[in-house]
Structure 1
Amino acid sequence: MSVLSNILNVAAKRPVWIHALGAAATFVVFGQVQAHLNASYEASNHPVDYMTGQTGFDAVLIKGYYAHMEHLGTLGVYLQTQFIDFGFIIMMALMGIMFGTLVARLGGQGSWRYRFGVAAAVSVVCGAMCDAFENLVSFVMLANPTSFADWLALPYSTFAVIKFGLIALGLLLVILSAVIGAGERGLALIANKRGVAKA
């Protein structure tokens, strides 16, 4: 929270358009990193999508995925994908911070939009941290891809489920903040029109 407060304090000294431009630039870089990650994942020939592969809580399934890639000779590509994922994690955290603090700043301190913006940033950053822990567990499993301890599937999938949940929550909070902002602007316009009509 103190880190986000410092970012908000620094951002408040800059024009809003600079903050918005920084958020947009972060989004563009995030998209490029994500495209690189997706291409590497596809090249690894993993038999299922990200979410299915990460949230099964089943060691037998995971070992089957690894055996499939090992048979095709692409398990090394999958291992490389895990390293690329750390770049994705960093950009996801930065994007959460940039957009969350921008939303908070536009709402003004003490407003619901401010609270939602800060909460969104915290949620996405925590989701990114869970993604990093999930990757660390995957490295342990990949050291023995078809014979790792079955219990490792539990923390692996647990971190993945929490990750997806926190990121979804962060996005929802940003959307709610936007809806609140639109509602506030709409009410302000109605109030202004009524004021003009009375005058």
Structure 2
Amino acid sequence: MTLRLIEKLTTIPLWVHATATVGAFAAFQGVKSVLDKSYAASLHPVDYVTGQTSFNGETIKGYYAVMQDAGTLDAYRTTQIIDFGFLAAMACFGILLATLVARFSHPGSWGRRLGLFAGLAALAGASCDAIENAWSFVMLSDPVGFADWLALPYSGFAVTKFALITAAMLLVLLSLVFLVIGRSLKDSRLG
């Protein structure tokens, strides 16, 4: 059902679709800028990828302790709230870009399918990001005393998020490749 909803985006007027994609990209970049500044202000001791993928409660507690000692843990909590806006912008941009690329391939072709699956992967990645982000608030409720096992699902959702977002980017590229090959060979099954 979700894939059918994503596919409906390929039927809106092209100028609306392209304008929405550009707007979503601008929103994504705007929120990313605010997020990056907030993350830097939190003085989190490692980059966000390292921080999210440790799978180790003691390590994450150590990161939180550094911020707690510096008095910036509230800035980190704010960063996590801003991240919800970032992931929403990321999902919108990912879906719109993927379906914009997909719409140039013939319906039912590999190029179209790959583009639509890219949109689905972007949505799934953003959903995992939302769960991981919400999970961080559970850990932040007791930043240096939370149960160590809480780090496992937190990092699991983060790794899954990164994998799905990477898959979405690769699928968009493959959709473009199939579009070009299909058009070059005049094969509507490819693109």
Q: How does 1:159-198 map to 2 (within 5 A)?
A: 159-187=157-185
Q: CA RMSD in A?
A: 1.5
In the alignment, the residues of structure 1 paired with residue 184 and residue 166 of structure 2 have an alpha-carbon distance, to the nearest angstrom, of: 27
CA displacement at 1:157 relative to structure 2:
0.2
Matched residue, 1:114: 112
Q: 1:9 to 1:124 in 2, by over 3 A?
A: closer
Select the structure of larger CA radius of gyration.
1
Matched, 1:140 2:166: no
CA displacement at 1:10 relative to structure 2:
5.5
In the alignment, the residues of structure 1 paired with residue 115 and residue 23 of structure 2 have an alpha-carbon distance, to the nearest angstrom, of: 19
Matched residue, 1:197: none
Paired letter, 1:158? G
Q: 1:80 to 1:184 in 2, by over 3 A?
A: same
Q: Structure 2: where are the runs of 5+ without partners?
A: 187-191
Matched, 1:26 2:55: no
Structure 2 length-normalised TM: 0.92
Larger relative contact order (C-alpha < 8 A, sep ≥ 6)?
2
The one of 150, 153, 167 aligned to 1:152: 150
Matched, 1:76 2:99: no
CA displacement at 1:25 relative to structure 2:
1.3
Paired letter, 2:112? Y
Aligned residues between the structures: 186
CA displacement at 1:6 relative to structure 2:
3.8
Q: Is the 8 A contact 1:4 1:101 kept in 2?
A: no
Q: Structure 1: where are the runs of 5+ without partners?
A: 189-199
Structure 1 length-normalised TM: 0.88
Q: 1:166 to 1:6 in 2, by over 3 A?
A: closer
In the alignment, the residues of structure 2 paired with residue 112 and residue 7 of structure 1 have an alpha-carbon distance, to the nearest angstrom, of: 16
CA displacement at 1:96 relative to structure 2:
1.6
Matched residue, 2:95: 97
Paired letter, 1:59? G
Matched residue, 2:124: 126
CA displacement at 1:113 relative to structure 2:
1.0
CA displacement at 1:54 relative to structure 2:
0.3
With 88-97 and 147-156 compared, the bigger mean Cα shift is at 88-97
Give the secondary structure class of the aligned counterpart of 2:143: coil
Give the secondary structure class of the aligned counterpart of 2:104: helix
CA displacement at 1:7 relative to structure 2:
5.0
Q: Is the 8 A contact 2:132 2:155 kept in 1?
A: yes
Q: 1:10 to 1:151 in 2, by over 3 A?
A: closer
Give the secondary structure class of the aligned counterpart of 2:43: coil
The one of 31, 47, 50 aligned to 1:49: 47
Moved over 3 A (4+): 6-11, 184-188
CA displacement at 1:5 relative to structure 2:
2.6
CA displacement at 1:3 relative to structure 2:
4.3
Matched residue, 1:66: 64
Matched residue, 2:189: none
Paired letter, 1:114? R
Larger proportion of helix: 1
